[in-house]
Amino acid sequence: MTLTMGDSPVETHLFVNGEARPATGNRRYALHNPARPEELVGHAAAGSPEDVDAAVRAAHAGYPSWAALSYAERADHLTRIADALTADAEDLAARARLFCREHGKILKECQLEMARLGDRFRLTASYADRLATDEHLTGPPFDTIITRQPRGVAALIVPWNWPLSILGAKLPQALMAGNTVVVKPSSNSALAPTLTLHLMARLLPPGVINVVTGAASEIGDALVTHPLVRFVNFTGSDTVGRHIMAQAARNLTPVTLELGGNDAAIICADAHLDADAFQRMYLGAFMSTGQICMALKRLYVHRSRYDEVVEGLSAACDRAVVGDGLLDETRVGPLNNAKQLETVTGLIEEARSKGADLRELGHVPDPDLYATGYFQKPVLALDPDPTLKLVTEEQFGPALPILPFETEDEAIAKANDSRFGLCSSVWTEDRDRATTLARRLEAGYTYLNAHGPTAQDSRGPFGGVKQSGLGRNLGYEGIIQFQSSHSISGPACWLFPN
Report yes or no: 399 and 347 within 8 Å, Cβ to Cβ.
Answer: yes
Segment near ligand NAD (CB under 6 A), from 13-21, 43-51, 179-187, 324-332?
A: 179-187
Phi, psi values for residue 456, rounded to 5° = -90, 135
DSSP assigned state of 378: -
Determine the length of the chain: 498
Closest CA to 29 of 44, 14, 12, 8: 44
Task: Report the C-alpha gap between 221 and 304 in whole angstroms.
Answer: 52
Bridge partners (DSSP) of residue 473 are 462
Provide long-range contacts, Cβ within 8 A and 24+ apart, for 350-354: 350/388, 350/389, 350/390, 351/381, 351/384, 351/388, 351/389, 351/390, 354/385, 354/388
Residue 50: phi, psi to the nearest 5?
A: -65, -40
Task: Select the residue interacting with ligand NAD from 91, 221, 360, 477 (CB under 6 A).
Answer: 221
- What residues are annotated to the active site? 258, 293
Output the smallest distance, CB 246 to ligand NAD, in A. 10
- Binds ligand NAD (CB under 6 A): choice among 61, 67, 69, 216: 216
3-class DSSP assignment, residue 423: strand
| Least Cβ distance, residue 158 to ligand NAD (angstroms) | 5
206 vs 452 by CB, closer to ligand NAD: 452
**How many residues of this chain bind ligand NAD (CB under 6 A)?**
30
Tell which positions 336-395 bind ligand NAD, by CB under 6 A.
394
CB of 216 to ligand NAD, least distance (A): 3
Select 144 or 247, whichever has its Cβ closest to ligand NAD: 247
Which listed residue (173, 186, 425, 481) binds ligand NAD by CB under 6 A? 186
Distance, CA of 462 to CA of 452 (rounded, Å): 12
Output 4 or 454, the one with its CB closest to ligand NAD.
Answer: 454
Task: Decide: is 161 part of the binding site for ligand NAD (CB under 6 A).
Answer: yes
User: 3-state class of 375 per DSSP?
Assistant: coil
C-alpha atoms less than 13 angstroms from C-alpha of 495 in its C-beta half-sphere? 18
Q: How far is the CB of 390 from ligand NAD (least distance, A)?
A: 16
Which positions from 259 through 278 interact with ligand NAD, judged by CB under 6 A?
Answer: 259-261
**Span near ligand NAD by CB under 6 A; candidates 24-32, 123-131, 154-162, 174-182:** 154-162
Could you tell me which stretch among 28-36, 91-99, 204-212, 257-265 binds ligand NAD (CB under 6 A)? 257-265
Confirm or reject binding of residue 53 to ligand NAD (CB under 6 A).
no
Contact stretch for ligand NAD (CB under 6 A) within 73-81, 172-180, 220-228, 358-366: 220-228
Pairwise CA distance, residues 346 & 349, whole Å? 5
Residues within window 406-435 making contact with ligand NAD, judged by CB under 6 A: 422
Distance CA 308, CA 292 (A): 26
Q: Please select the residue that binds ligand NAD; options are 102, 113, 258, 263, rule is CB under 6 A.
A: 258
Nearer to ligand NAD, 159 or 178 (CB): 159
Closest CA to 286 of 420, 453, 137: 453
Q: Letter for the amino acid at 434?
A: A
Name the residue nearer to ligand NAD (CB basis): 75 or 422.
422
Taking CA atoms, 145 is separated from 132, 153, 179, 489, in Å, by: 13, 25, 22, 6
The span of 21-29, 239-247, 398-406, 490-498 binding ligand NAD (CB under 6 A) equals 239-247
Half-sphere exposure of 326 (CA within 13 A, CB side): 17
In the region spanning residues 445 to 484, those forming contacts with ligand NAD, defined by CB under 6 A, are 464, 469
Side-chain-side CA neighbours of 462 within 13 Å: the count stands at 25
Distance CA 119, CA 128 (A): 15
Report yes or no: 210 and 181 within 8 Å, Cβ to Cβ. yes
Least Å distance between CB 205 and ligand NAD?
A: 26
CA dist 215 and 313 (Å) reads 39
Residue among 130 and 339 whose Cβ is closer to ligand NAD: 339
Looking at the Cβ atoms of 259 and 391, the one nearer to ligand NAD is: 259
Q: C-beta of 403: minimal distance to ligand NAD in Å?
A: 21
Using the rule CB under 6 A, give the single segment among 155-163, 355-363, 377-385, 428-436 that binds ligand NAD: 155-163
Dihedral sign from CA coordinates of 20, 24, 26, 29: negative
Where does this chain bind ligand NAD (CB under 6 A)?
A: 157-162, 166, 184, 186-187, 216, 220-221, 224, 235-237, 240, 243-244, 258-261, 293, 394, 396, 422, 464, 469
